[in-house]
Amino acid sequence: MRSFIFRVNITYQTFLQHYSGAASSVVVMTENGLKLQLPAVRLRPFLTQMGVKGRFQVAVDENNKLTTLTKLSD
């Protein structure tokens, strides 16, 4: 299993596009310079009035399927 660390700073208003169907995924840049495309629905548990902000770790299986998403810090 591999894992990647990245930062996210998405405003509440921008994240609302996910709910309206305009955005189904989020593209992030890892700390190692790799681009990852994540389903926006996986960030819902981390949505606050300020949006989705913080440092996260994502783990993927051997087929690059997301297995876990954990918030590390703000």
**Residue spans per domain, the chain:** 2-73
Distance, CA of 47 to CA of 49 (rounded, Å): 7
Q: How far is CA 57 from CA 5, 9, 22, 36, 39, in A?
A: 4, 14, 25, 12, 14
pTM of structure: 0.88
Give the mean pLDDT per block of 10 residues along the chain (74 residues).
95 85 86 94 93 96 94 92
User: What is the architecture, at CATH level 2, of domain 2-73?
Assistant: Beta Barrel (2.40)
